[in-house]
Chain A
Amino acid sequence: MRAFLEGSKAIANTVSLCRPGVISAYPITPQTHIVEELAQLVADGKLDSQFVNVESEHSAASVVLGASASGVRVFTATSSQGLFLMAEVLFNIAGMRLPIVLTCANRAISAPINIWNDQQDSVSLRDCGFVQLYAENVQEAVDFHLLAYRLAEHKDIMLPVMVCIDGYILTHGIETLDMPEKEKIDKFLPAYQAPYKLDVDNPLTLGFLADPDYYTETRFAMQETHNEALKMLPELFADFSSVFGRNYQCVEKYRLEDAQKAIVAMGSVCGTIKDVVDELRKKGKKVGLLKISALRPFPMQDIYNALKGIPRVAVMDRALSLGSLAPLYSEIKSIFFAKKKAPKIISSFIAGLGGRDITAESIKEIFRQLNQREVVGKFIDLKAELLQDKL
């Protein structure tokens, strides 16, 4: 069904059709429109769900933890500081193997406080055990939620999934999309059958103390399950395609076949990069894009295959690892360590922090800089004049 909708509304209405029994969230910009819409659907009797208004993100995550442990499908959403306040609970949810789906409306991190988009929040939590999917546009944002529930609740996976969508750009942007219909969602996403839960008829104990005799194996199992999820995702994407007719992959190769230069990026900026690639291609430049849709599990083999024959690669991070290499860059770079087939140059660019626009010109500048020798941690569109100010 074609629709022209705000991203948050599209996501909320799709999540609603997934029938979460418990929803809990705490207000933070720019995530709010999603849960406001869900609250309204519950208030209007269109969604049978318990909407729990809590006093913090820590409790929002804890409420969905408790509800998920009771065998019910759940949903929560947050951004930025809210995600960080949840952080302790998120590691716990993953360790307890509860299939929670969380939308992260990506936003910059304080200080200074900034409500605009970058990806420092979710990227900083890439090690929390959640699967992380990054959406390029509203259509993907919507579709990834369906894939998220399906993957999370698979009995061989039982890991939580974070759907990362760029704040404002995808939460408040209005786009034309195909809204998934209820019948198709019901076909793709069966009701959740918890393999373990809090049940008075089968009184299990969940949430143990594990001493050195057991702890390592719990973490090993999570690592193995991420590998399994990586193997399973192509099947799920194929299944999704057969129901909804839209194709996804862990990485999307955009005009990479004969590319001499490529940018690697995640999220909404990929749309802009595609436009620039098309424009440059028209002028005969052999450029392309590698879009990373799954940061966790990290599709290393796919990335290797996609980039191994491309001489010059730029990795664009919208996040930082202060004091070291940019996060996505260091992971991409490590894939090619000591590999015979590898790009000659893998350069690192940081752009779009705290909501600064990444324009077509910014992207062209990155392609231009790929003509030079390898650069590491180059900030794009830096305002040199501001840096003159001293205390």
Chain B
Amino acid sequence: MSDSIKKTLFASGHTACAGCGQSLAARLVLEVCGPNTIIANNTGCLEVFSTKYPESAWCVPWIHSLFENSAAVASGIEAALKFLGKKQNINVICQAGDGGTGDIGMQALSGMWERGHDILSICYDNEAYENTGIQRSGLTPYDASTTTSPAGAQSFGNPRPKKPVPEIANAHGIVYVAIASVGYPQDLQKKVKKALSLKGPKYLQIHVPCPLGWGHATELTYQIARLAVQAGLYPLIEYENGELVSSFKITPKPVEEYLKLQRRFRHVLNNSEEIARIQETANKNIKKYNLVVKNN
């Protein structure tokens, strides 16, 4: 093993599935944070595959307590650092998957945002409870087939749209809210850097494909993440103090190009009505966030 691999703050040897978007995102985030960072992590894939005793992939101080409380644990860490007079130089991060963020962890997260802690909260959004076997979460997209929202004779999969956690975060009046994707690593790292430069509560939601849960080939993680963005289904946007300050411009591709690579959407591919509904979501995003540069 060479020195440069040794220096990464998120070490190799973790037990994520091959092609895991979340492990990739975690490393990209940590590269920007640097060693003066303390992380509180909710239960979930990331926690399990990075810290199976006695092996830890983390090279910064890291703590896991429960499924829903990393925002509160991080609040305690931040308060302790303030008491010790050390907060100035240390980044405090709480992170979770989409279930740990938008479902079971929502209350603790809302409390942390409202109290104004200087903490970056990160959601690694792989759009289901992948760790427990691909069950539906509040952030599972419309029509995705999961083990608890399966497609069937009477079902097109998940009947509800994604819970708008970034909008919920914004409603708290926090300093920074952004959406990123492992399909655009530079943009992702830029947003982490920006978030850490601001004092107060921040929220960053990162789209991280899951080959196992989404049913795609392991080598397609990056492409699929990009296609979600390019279709307008996962807009890369950025808010400061509630104001939309940037949106990543795209030349929209039809949603089928994104859907057709994933087993979770296989049941809608020949259903023009359902495809049209998903396309409608993309179109709304494109309009709402002004994702397309208009000529002239």
A touches B (Cβ under 8 A): yes
Interface residues of chain A, those whose CB is within 8 Å of chain B, are 21-22, 24, 48-50, 52-56, 58-60, 62-72, 74, 88-89, 92, 96, 198-200, 202-211, 214
Hey, which chain B residues are within 8 Å of A62, CB to CB?
A: 65-66, 69, 72-73, 75-76, 108
Determine whether the beta carbon of B72 is less than 8 Å from that of A200: no
**Alpha-carbon separation in the docked complex, A74 to B77 (Å):** 11
Choice from B52, B60, B69, B78 contacting A208 with Cβ under 8 Å = B52
Separation in Å of the B91 CB from the closest CB of chain A?
A: 9
- B69 / chain A contacts, CB cutoff of 8 Å: 58-59, 62, 65, 89
Chain B residues with CB under 8 Å of A54's CB are: 72, 75, 111, 115
Instruction: Provide the bound-state CA to CA distance between A32 and B168, in Å.
Output: 31
Distance of A86 from chain B, by nearest CB (Å): 11
The answer to the question of B56 belonging to the interface, with a C-beta cut-off of 8 Å to chain A, is yes
Residue in B47, B54, B60, B107 whose CB lies within 8 Å of A56: B107
Q: For the complex, what is the distance from the CA of A22 to the CA of B58, rounded to whole Å?
A: 26
CB distance A209 to B51 under 8 Å? yes
**A21 nearest in chain B by CB position:** B83
- Write 14 A-B pairs (CB below 8 A) sorted by A numbering: A24-B76, A24-B79, A50-B82, A59-B71, A62-B73, A62-B76, A70-B80, A72-B80, A198-B63, A203-B60, A205-B51, A205-B62, A206-B63, A214-B53
- What is the CA–CA distance of A56 and B62 in the complex, to the nearest angstrom? 24
Residue of B nearest to A96 (CB): B65
Known: A50-B80, A52-B79, A56-B107. A204 touches B61 (CB 8 A): yes
- Considering only CB atoms, which chain B residue lies closest to A205 in the complex? B56
CB of A286 to closest CB in B, whole Å: 52
A58 vs B111: C-alpha distance when bound (angstroms): 11
Min CB gap B80→A, angstroms: 4
Cβ-defined contact, A203 with B61, below 8 A: yes
Assess A22 versus B108: contact at CB under 8 Å? Given A66-B73, A207-B64.
no
Interface assignment of B110: CB less than 8 Å from any CB of chain A: yes
Do A209 and B48 form a contact, CB below 8 Å, given A62-B66, A200-B61? Answer: yes
Closest chain-B Cβ to A105's Cβ sits at a distance in Å of: 22
Inter-chain contact B76/A66, CB cutoff 8 Å = yes
Give the shortest distance, in Å, between A95 (CB) and chain B (any CB): 10
Interchain nearest-CB distance for A84 vs B (Å) = 15
Chain B residues whose CB sits within 8 angstroms of the CB of A49 once the complex forms: 83
Provide the residues of chain B in CB contact with A58, threshold 8 Å: 68-69, 72, 107-108
Residues of A within 8 A of B111 (CB): 54-56, 59
Flag if A52 contacts B76 (CB, 8 Å).
Answer: yes
Instruction: Identify A207's interface contact among B63, B75, B90, CB under 8 A.
Output: B63
Of B35-43, B257-265, B283-291, the stretch lying at the interface with chain A is B35-43
Question: With A59-B75, A198-B38, A199-B61 given, is the CB distance from A52 to B66 under 8 Å?
Answer: no
- By a CB distance below 8 angstroms, the chain A residues around B90 are 200
Let me know if B84 is at the binding interface, CB within 8 A.
yes
Bound-complex Cα distance A56 to B107 (A): 9
Give Cα distance in the complex from A60 to B79, angstroms: 12
CA distance A50 to B36 in the complex (A): 22
Q: Would you call A71 and B76 a contact (CB within 8 A)?
A: no
Q: Are B76 and A63 in contact (CB under 8 A)?
A: yes
Set of chain A residues within 8 Å of B110, measured between Cβ atoms: 55
Name B107's contact: one of A55, A70, A96, A205 (CB within 8 Å): A55
Using CB atoms, name the residue of chain A closest to B90. Answer: A200
Expressed in whole angstroms, the Cα–Cα distance for A200 and B108 within the complex equals 25
Please state if A22 and B79 are interface contacts (CB–CB under 8 Å): yes
Residues of A contacting B84 with CB < 8 Å?
21, 70-72
Cα distance A74–B80 in the bound complex, in angstroms? 9
Asked whether A53 lies within 8 Å of B115 as measured between CB atoms, the reply is yes
Contact A69 B53 (CB under 8 A): no
Cβ-defined partner of A65 (8 Å) among B38, B48, B65: B65
Q: Could you tell me if A207 and B37 are in contact, using CB atoms closer than 8 angstroms?
A: no
- Bound CA–CA A59/B62 (angstroms): 18
Provided the pairs A49-B83, A56-B107, A207-B51 are in contact, do residues A70 and B65 lie with their beta carbons within 8 angstroms?
A: no
Residues of A within 8 A of B114 (CB): 55
Chain B hits for A208, CB < 8 A: 51-54, 56, 64
